[in-house]
Amino acid sequence: MDALTRAVQAIMQDAATRAILPHYQSLAAHQIEDKAADDVVTVADHESEEILAAGLARLLPEAAIVGEEAAHADPSLLDKLGDALCWIIDPVDGTNNYAQGRPPFGILVALAEAGDTVAGWILDPLTGRFCHAARGQGAFIGEDRIFARTSGQEPAIAAISLVFADPARREALRNEIAPHYTLVDIPRCAAEQYPRLVLGQNDVSVFERTHSWDHAAGVLFVNEAGGKAARPDGSPYRVDEPGRTGLLGAASPALWDELAERIAEI
């Protein structure tokens, strides 16, 4: 791992140790707030984001910082996603799981350059699994380079997120896409879903909502591992398109092509 990755890992581990793990399975009711429909935020999200933002600012003072909770409070921060350099932070990914006292949940950090993700880091605070990737340099878990592998199952294993799809889209996905795959429950945690695509647990995933803090690091990780994650029309995922929906991930380009062809027909 290079110096930047080691430094980012240390900051993420600090947030996990000081903000996330101490509150895990011990949140009081007043420490959990409704944020939006089917979405909550906890005191750990806020504390973690403060630690991450402060640490990352010291690493690259010239980079903008867009954290999920800061952007929720001030949506104008989304304009910074296309800056020359921008840190993107999800302080607790999988907050609904975390608030209920169960895994999976994680921390996601990405670094973007003019809207294009150039590096991403994913930490599982409970297991310590640390996934990371840099553009053109491969994907790693810890210090070991990783290459995406399929499950080998037939039909292929699909994790399809229907939570944020409108009713018509949800019905179409159920009727036209689901029958061609073996469906498994989604973890409701991108920090877990993207590693599953690389580690042979899931073959394909469909995402509707595509916030940069949820997807920037994972998309890069899958692509650098030799899988494929892209918009349904094949265009690359960019962080500076905050209003755009739809994203497909797969353990191999062939599986991605098959899924994209089916999606295009609905």
- Structural domain spans, the chain: 3-145, 157-264
CA distance 66 to 79: 9
Q: What confidence category does residue 161 fall into, taking pLDDT thresholds of 50, 70 and 90?
A: confident
CA distance 265 to 139: 32
How many helices and strands in the chain, by DSSP H and E?
8, 14
Contact yes or no for 54/60 (Cβ under 8 A): no
Token pair recorded at residue 93? 């990914």
CA distance 63 to 208: 28
β-strand 86-93 against 64-67: which pairing, if any?
parallel
Residue 194 has pLDDT above 80, yes or no: yes
Give 4: exposed, middle or buried? Use CB within 10 Å, 0-12, 13-18, 19+. Answer: middle
Q: What confidence category does residue 40 fall into, taking pLDDT thresholds of 50, 70 and 90?
A: very high
Q: What confidence category does residue 154 fall into, taking pLDDT thresholds of 50, 70 and 90?
A: very high
Give 40: exposed, middle or buried? Use CB within 10 Å, 0-12, 13-18, 19+. Answer: middle
pLDDT at 173: 84
Read off φ and ψ for residue 255, nearest 5 degrees. Answer: -65, -35
Whole-model pTM? 0.96
Token pair recorded at residue 145? 């380079």
Token pair recorded at residue 198? 């690389």
CA distance 242 to 81: 9
Q: Measured at the alpha carbon of residue 12, what is the angle toward residues 10 and 13, in degrees to the nearest 5?
A: 65
Q: What does pLDDT average to over the chain?
A: 95
**Three-class SS state of 113:** strand
Contact yes or no for 124/101 (Cβ under 8 A): no
Class in CATH terms, 157-264 = alpha beta
Give the mean pLDDT of 7-20. 98
Closest C-alpha among 168, 159, 164, 169 to residue 196: 159
Contact yes or no for 52/15 (Cβ under 8 A): yes
Contact yes or no for 63/87 (Cβ under 8 A): yes
Q: What confidence category does residue 266 fall into, taking pLDDT thresholds of 50, 70 and 90?
A: confident
- Over residues 122-133, the pLDDT tens digits come to 999 999 999 999
Q: What confidence category does residue 156 fall into, taking pLDDT thresholds of 50, 70 and 90?
A: very high
- Over residues 72-110, the pLDDT tens digits come to 999 999 999 999 999 999 999 999 999 999 999 999 999
Residue 165 has pLDDT above 80, yes or no: no
In terms of pLDDT, which residue wins out, 148 or 171? 148
- Over residues 213-265, the pLDDT tens digits come to 999 999 999 999 999 999 999 999 999 999 899 999 999 999 999 999 999 98
CA distance 63 to 83: 8
- The CATH-assigned architecture of domain 3-145 is 2-Layer Sandwich (3.30)
pLDDT at 144: 98
Q: What confidence category does residue 1 fall into, taking pLDDT thresholds of 50, 70 and 90?
A: low
Give the mean pLDDT of 13-29. 97
Give the mean pLDDT of 47-56. 98
